[in-house]
Amino acid sequence: MARALSSFRPVFVAGVGLHPYRKYSPTPYVALGLAAVREALTDAGARWGDIESAYVASALLGMAPGRPMLRHLGASGLSITHVENASASGSSAFRLAALEVASGQSDLVVAIGVDKPAMVELGARQAVLDLLERDRVSAFTHFALLAQRYADAYGATPEDFARVAAKNLANGARNPYAQRREPRSVADIVAAAPLAGFLTSPQSCPVGEGAAAAILASEDGLKRLQFERKRTVRVLSSASRSERLYDDEGGFDAALTEETVRDALADAGVSPGALDVVELHDAFSVEELLYTERMGLCDPGDAPRRLKAGHFDIGGEVAVSASGGLIAMGHPLGPTGLGQIAEITRQLRGEAEGRQHPDAKTGLAHMVGLGAVCVAHVLQRDAE
């Protein structure tokens, strides 16, 4: 019988750290990753020698970038495992780290995401087959097709899609780790450089460089660190799925999101309405409308109205992408899912300076990766 994460021993986030996301620079990835790990160690009050195992997420750096980076913290001999799961790499590294702690194998485990922009060959390109229009249907066109369908179904306007980017850019302007820190008006976003269909360039996430890290701990691990109890955040659940066949073939991202998030919420015993902060995969603006609905944060077709009414703002009913999301914080791939964990952890501790959602208790992190795969986690401020 399969067991949920909650049926194992408790897992906590003890520390988080980031290197700001930004455009490509000559800085080696080693420096980016070390900055994030050192920030997470300081946050957790841990020394590198305390960490028993590391999961290193990257999608673009090539084979085995972990030890050439981590040895500069002291070659402690800890377990190192690399994780590549496209855009969900960081989320999957976090999941594996959580499961390692939950199982009792380790008490202190770090998950690290680090990447720099690079061109890599996609597995799908080697897997098969000539696909019709592979080179003409880029990611933004895929999402433009979904946006057109959404507009047909619910009468959404160009402004409704642009408003997602306007909110997330406004949030990103308040996040020192975000790649895009300039707020833009809805009108300005609608009038920006067109990509395809309703989508313009500010409605597409920037892919730059950066790093993010999270240290996971058992109860024993927290004790070893003499960690301050009121700052602890518990990992309530972890869900991971891949695309299957859906009646609505073109809408697989949303269908996969719905079932993965449903698993994560059910295992956590949390209803969608109880979520205070949500970080979701808004690589393109339309995704936020689709996913907030399919996660159960609002009714189908109602996301534009909710967004306009401020329900998804910091200080609204539920803060969606308080970090700025992928659209503003950025999407360096390996780090992205762990950057979500860092943001949610800070929000739940009340430490999200300058962009704190009031009294945030429960958060959801959600990523979709090429394939498609989907990974979701529910985190909660520890009640004790």
Partner 1 sequence: MGARIEHPTLYGEGAAGPALYGARCAACGRVSFPRQSFGCEGCGAYGEAMAPVELAARGTLLSFAFVRKHMGADIAAPFAIGEIRLDDGPVIRCTLADALDERALHAGQRVSGVLAHNPKSGADVLELRFAPEGR
Which residue ranges make up the site for partner 1 (CB under 8 A)?
128-133, 135-138, 140-141, 144-149, 152, 193-197, 245, 249-250
346 strand-pairing partners: none
Nearer to partner 1, 41 or 289 (CB): 289
For residues 269 and 299, the answer to whether their CB atoms sit within 8 Å is: no
Residue 85, both tokens: 């799961």
Residue whose CB is less far from partner 1, 130 or 384: 130
Nearer to partner 1, 250 or 269 (CB): 250
Smallest separation (angstroms) from partner 1 to the CB of 129: 5
2: left (phi over 0), alpha (psi -120 to 50) or beta: beta
**Cβ-based nearer residue to partner 1, 80 or 145:** 145
DSSP state of 85: B
Residues 6+ apart with CB under 8 A from 23: 179, 206, 208, 209
- The CB-of-1 to partner 1 minimum distance in angstroms stands at 24
Compute φ and ψ for 218, nearest 5 degrees.
Answer: -85, 175
| C-beta of 121 vs 152, nearer to partner 1 | 152
3-state secondary structure of 20: strand
CB of 103 to partner 1, least distance (A): 31
Judged by beta carbon, residue 140 or residue 312, the one nearer partner 1 is: 140
Closest separation in Å from C-beta 256 to partner 1? 14
Kindly state the smallest distance separating residue 249's Cβ from partner 1, in Å.
4
Least distance from C-beta 25 to partner 1, angstroms?
A: 23
CB of 349 to partner 1, least distance (A): 41
Q: Name the strands in the sheet holding 362-369, side by side, starting at the edge strand that comes first in the sequence.
A: 79-83, 53-57, 108-115, 209-217, 12-22, 233-242, 373-381, 362-369, 277-279, 319-320
Q: State the helix-helix crossing angle for 89-102 and 336-349, rounded to 10 degrees.
A: 60
Asked if 57 and 338 count as a contact pair (C-beta separation under 8 A), the reply is yes
Q: How far is the CB of 200 from partner 1 (least distance, A)?
A: 9
CA 196 centroid distance within chain? 25
Phi, psi values for residue 250, rounded to 5° = -70, -20
d(CA 169, CA 149): 25
Toward partner 1, which CB reaches closer, 2 or 245?
A: 245
Minimum CB distance to partner 1 smaller for 127 or for 383: 127
Q: How far is the CB of 15 from partner 1 (least distance, A)?
A: 41
Q: How far is the CB of 243 from partner 1 (least distance, A)?
A: 10
Alpha helices in 16-111 (DSSP H): 29-44, 66-70, 89-102
E strand segments, the chain: 12-22, 53-57, 79-83, 108-115, 194-196, 199-200, 209-217, 233-242, 277-279, 319-320, 362-369, 373-381
**Quick check: 225 and 217 in contact, CB under 8 A?**
yes
Q: Pick the closer one to partner 1 by CB: 3 or 136.
A: 136
Nearer Cβ to partner 1, position 48 or 246?
Answer: 246
